[in-house]
Structure 1
Amino acid sequence: MIRPLTPEDLEAYKALWIHGLTTEPEAFLLTAAEAAGALDSSLIAKLASGAVIGAFEGTALVGFVAMHQGGPERLHHMADIGPLYIHPSARRRGLGRDLMCAVIDAAKTRGFLQLELCVDATNTGARALYEAQGFAQFGLRPRSVIVNGVPRDDVLMLKPLD
């Protein structure tokens, strides 16, 4: 089942997020320590806004994708997508595709004109998923992040919605 997460999903969301940050740190911007320090009140507000969509198997949250609207008024026409994370035990079942379809639909409903994301340049699986959803590369950010002392490049991708 795919649905927007709510404040009632806070503990499951945090647990899955921390799991991803711990096991696959190169796939996230934040570190596990930074995420652990995130205030529950800000996470609850994020969940209440409908900006995070979850994938469930039974009652267990096994994946999520987030959407962030541009902050300044001149960026309100766009949203950043990410992170997208699927627990390893639930991969290769189409949940990434389902989450991306749901977040694209939610973005269209909110009236966004474009979606942007960045993905580790070596993450060929994620890049293929995003390309299949109509995202195209428009740039490369060298040394976008440094994970465990190793610089990593990010591919910048965009999908127009109009």
Structure 2
Amino acid sequence: MIRPLTIDDLEAYRALWLDGLRRVPDAFLLTEVEALALTDISLIAKLQNERIWGSFAQDRLNGIVAMQPGRLERLRHMADIGPLYVHPSAQGQGVAQALLSVAIVAARDMGLLQLELCVDATNTRAIALYQAAGFVQFGRRPRSVIVNCRPRDDLLMLKALDAA
């Protein structure tokens, strides 16, 4: 079952997010130390101000996807996707595709024109997922982040939600 996360999901959300940071730190912008420093109040604000969906199996959160609509007037036509993370116990079962589909439908329902995301250039599974959902690469950001003293490139991807 996929549904929007609420304040009642705060602890499960935090636990799954930290699990992802520990297992695949290169897939997230924040470090584990930065995430651990986030207060309940800041995470509650994130749950209230962004659109974050969770996938549940037997009432256990096993996947998340976030969508941050543009807040400024000139950015209200688009939203950023991410993070998207699925616990290893639920991988290979279509959870990531289902979460991404929910976000795409929600974006269309909001009247958005496009979705954008950044993905580590070496994350071939995520890139394939996004391409299968209709995202196309429109750029590459060299040294987007520095992880363990190593520069990492991000691919910039976009999905048009209108006929453009």
Which residue in 2 is equivalent to 1:108? 108
- The CA deviation at 1:41 is 1.7
Q: Name whichever of 35-44 and 140-149 sits farther off.
A: 35-44
Q: Pairwise mapping of residues 43-82 of structure 1 onto structure 2 (< 5 A)? A: 43-49=43-49, 51-82=51-82
Q: Deviations over 1:49-100 (max 9, x none)?
A: 4610101111110110000112321111110000000011110000000000
Which residue in 2 is equivalent to 1:145? 145
Q: TM-score, normalised by structure 2?
A: 0.95
Q: Distance in 2 between matches of 1:70 and 1:30?
A: 20
**Which 4+ residue blocks in structure 1 deviate beyond 3 angstroms?**
none
Which residue in 1 is equivalent to 2:95? 95
- The CA deviation at 1:131 is 0.5
Q: Distance in 2 between matches of 1:145 and 1:46?
A: 22
Equivalenced residue count is: 162
Indicate whether 1:40 and 2:40 are aligned. Answer: yes
The Cα RMSD (Å) is 1.1
Indicate whether 1:9 and 2:41 are aligned. Answer: no
What letter is aligned with 1:132? A
What letter is aligned with 1:15? A
Unpaired stretches in structure 1, ≥5 consecutive residues: none
What letter is aligned with 2:140? L
Does the Cα contact within 8 Å between 2:50 and 2:68 map onto a contact in 1?
Answer: no
Q: Deviations over 1:22-46 (max 9, x none)?
A: 1211000000111111222232133
Does the Cα contact within 8 Å between 2:70 and 2:79 map onto a contact in 1?
Answer: yes
Unpaired stretches in structure 2, ≥5 consecutive residues: none
Which residue in 2 is equivalent to 1:30? 30
Q: TM-score, normalised by structure 1?
A: 0.96
Does the Cα contact within 8 Å between 1:5 and 1:50 map onto a contact in 2?
Answer: no
Instruction: Give the fraction of aligned pairs with identical amino acids, expressed as a percent.
Output: 62
Q: What is the SS of the residue equivalent to 2:122?
A: coil
